[in-house]
Structure 1
Amino acid sequence: MSEKNVIVYVSDDCSQCDKLLAHLNKLNVHFETKNVTKYHEYMEQLQEIGVFGTPATFVNNHMILGMQTNKINRMLETDGQDNTYFHS
């Protein structure tokens, strides 16, 4: 199974962002984090595609908005348990 390209857009003081990152870490998923609070260009990237909030997760360019663990698990082809397929 090939490793997925996962990018998570987050913002400061976002409890849903924190929960999402914890979920991905629990799954040992390798992901890139883009903080829109610290780097305005990341927010501009989201706004260009009509997204105005965080968290926004992209798995192989498929967008998942908010804290949707079931959808994220499906995109990662996992059941929510630890999965070493995605460990970096």
Structure 2
Amino acid sequence: MSQTDITVYVSKGCTYCEQVITYLEERGASHTIKNVSLDDAAFKEWKTINPMGTPLTVKGEQQVLGFNKDKLDALL
């Protein structure tokens, strides 16, 4: 399974963010990680999408907030 259009917005010290990244890696899903705590451009981008929290996993128009295996599987 290889997806290159998945972006994961994470923040510093977020254990759910780490779980999402690990889960995507276990599934073999290619993804881009953007840390909203450390990267101003990533923060501004994230704020325009869904500033409800992190992790926020985005693929096209689909969004998964938090660590939810069922929703992540549907996204993949």
- Please confirm whether the aligned pair reaches a TM-score higher than 0.5, indicating the same fold: yes
Does the 8 A contact of 1:54 with 1:65 survive in 2?
Answer: yes
Runs of 4+ in 1 over 3 A off after TM superposition: 1-4
- The alignment yields a C-alpha RMSD, in angstroms, of 1.9
- SS at 2:28's partner residue? coil
Indicate how the Cα distance of structure 1 residues 65 and 25 shifts in structure 2: closer, same or farther if over 3 A, else same.
same
Does the 8 A contact of 1:12 with 1:35 survive in 2?
Answer: yes
Normalising by the residue count of structure 2, what TM-score does the alignment of the two structures yield? Answer: 0.86
What displacement does 1:72 show? 0.8
Select the structure with the greater relative contact order (CA < 8 A; seq sep ≥ 6).
1
Which residue in 1 is equivalent to 2:14? 14
Normalising by the residue count of structure 1, what TM-score does the alignment of the two structures yield? Answer: 0.75
| Identity fraction in percent | 28
**What residue ranges of structure 2 are gaps of 5+ in the alignment?**
none
- SS at 2:9's partner residue? strand
Aligned residues: 76
